[in-house]
Chains A and B, each alone.
Chain A
Amino acid sequence: MVLKKLMRNPISLLGLIILIGFVLVAIFAPKLAPPRDPEQPYMIPRYGYSSTPKPPVPEHPFGTTEGQYDIFYGIVWGTRTAFWVGLFVVGVSCAIGIIVGSIAGYYGGKFDEILMRIVDVFMSFPFLIAAVVITTILGRGLDKVMLAMVCFYWMGYARLVRGSILAIKEEEYILAAKACGVKDWQIIMKHVLPNSIFPVLVQASMNIGSVVITASGLSFLGVGAPQGYADWGQMISFGRNWLLGTPENAFAYWYTIVYPGLAIVLFVLAWNLVGDAFRDVLDPKMQS
């Protein structure tokens, strides 16, 4: 039923198709790009050590980038990385945000005061610098980047949830449930959360794209995935020295930037379109 509604709008249908495409690529990665070393499928195979990228040939359909890493392989396995990073960071920070935000919003008073001051403290750190510091302390690695991002992403959700819970709390159906003897936690689960959480889920699905961009940015800065790890951001950072091509041909190395860039852009676009469609689907007024 939800799908049917998604189908009705051609734009959201497009988003859904792109997203399904990415899901398929992620699932069938071992078939599309069989790893050389099955123990370490996320390490992009190298075909030489020359730094100059080589254009697409049948064995390397997207060419090879600086250091002769196979671009096609990197894109395919990078899809898994993107889903993993996006879903983990958004999932975990959303969960933390929902818990903190609902306690602050529903119980109010001292709880609210304390939790919101903690949020303010986290908010006051400049994210990029904090992320770089954290990864410097903990060491380079995708897991550390994700941890750093969760640390600085949950507050947004906490504020959003708190705000909408404060609004929902004033609704008379909450009082009605209370008057009927419904227990506090059941009121939260059945009335408060469904009515305040759906806007948050819409927001979250849209954030998955931007999380992947930020993670790519950190990889680009060299604090993310280890060298040679299948990650779109790293693919782009490989290509950055070749952006300008050669004096004769400015676009000589286009494939080093276009393929990973396209992957990121489409991924972000798909999540945004799907998030938009979510909004309509989750509105009870659009139902039946």
Chain B
Amino acid sequence: MSNQLSNVAAVVGIGHTDWRKDYAAHRAGEAGKLDSIGLASLAFTRALKDAGISRDEVDGLIVGPTTPYERMGEVLGIDARWGGQADAMLAVMQATMAIHAGLAEVVALVYGNNQRTGKTNYGGANAAGGASFLSYVYHAPWGFTSQGALYALMFQRYMEETGLTSTQLGEVAVAQRLAASLNPEAVMQKRITVEDYLASDFVCEPLHLFDYCLVNDGGVALIIMSAERARKLRPDPVMIHGVGRYDLNRGATSLEPRLTEYYLPAQQKVAAQVFDMAGVGPEDISSAQIYDSFSCHIPLALEGYGYCAPGEAGRFMQDGNIKLGGRLPVNTSGGHLSESYMQGWGHQIEAVRQIRGTCGERQVENCRFVHYSSDVAGKAVSIIYGR
């Protein structure tokens, strides 16, 4: 398979907004001071500062799905040689591709989302994402709505088939909250136990409140440049060693690939591509950052990428493997469940921080490679970051 995208691009700058402070202010009844474009702008200025470059060096711009591309470029004063709009994982892939193709040398990736103060609805009438994913709205006549319900339905069957218990699933929320308690920037820092998890309310049974991501405002930005230029810029660029993607579209609305295979074939195909490209295997990965709108993404990814055998994720998690200090610490910032719901963007910068070794008390020792994975609605994507 192709390894042409390995080590051609590197992350040299990261930035994000003060989501913990903003969340507290919102809870105290204050109105948000920044909209989505403002949040993205603040994150961008911080990423630029972290990279130590000037705005005028940026010649590529990728904007997240929640802000308009042109306006984003306008407010940041960026005329781009190459640009586009993408979600977090595709943004990183596209930046890498553009740099490899010589279409840009320094790409800014910016994302801002005022989903809490802007009252975004992820279920019910006009559920967010319905224009892109028909399954998010198609089954509404039977009250079936929200992305959480889609995963609850999928996981109900998975649990019966594999014997994974709610107690074992609770390990995800507990481990990520433990990590968040060591992350001064995390929105939720109070540690929880499996008993707390089991006692929490159901939202869409079998999923509990603690299985769900937060909804908070924030922004994230990254600066990605050619590996060659990155090495001259700073001693610790974080290289992109591999990328991969596979989409299950057939039967998506009738939920066939969710309910019969739990997206496993897509993740296995991506695993083959991304590990081959990076020249590493699951045994070489120090930490995994897994897109977690819901906790159940984690066991599915553990199996899909070969960290454990299909059907074995419950036991793998119960044995402490995904906690800090375990074999494969997962979502070491607290992830979407406890740090901040930045739709995968926060996971990219946590991967960078872990590789840089700047995570303080939650630092994974000797962190060599970090594997990012997501499987939003059967669109499996992976990125491997390393030194």
- Binding partners A and B: no
Q: Give me the interface of B with A, judged by CB distance under 8 Å.
A: none
Q: Give me the interface of A with B, judged by CB distance under 8 Å.
A: none
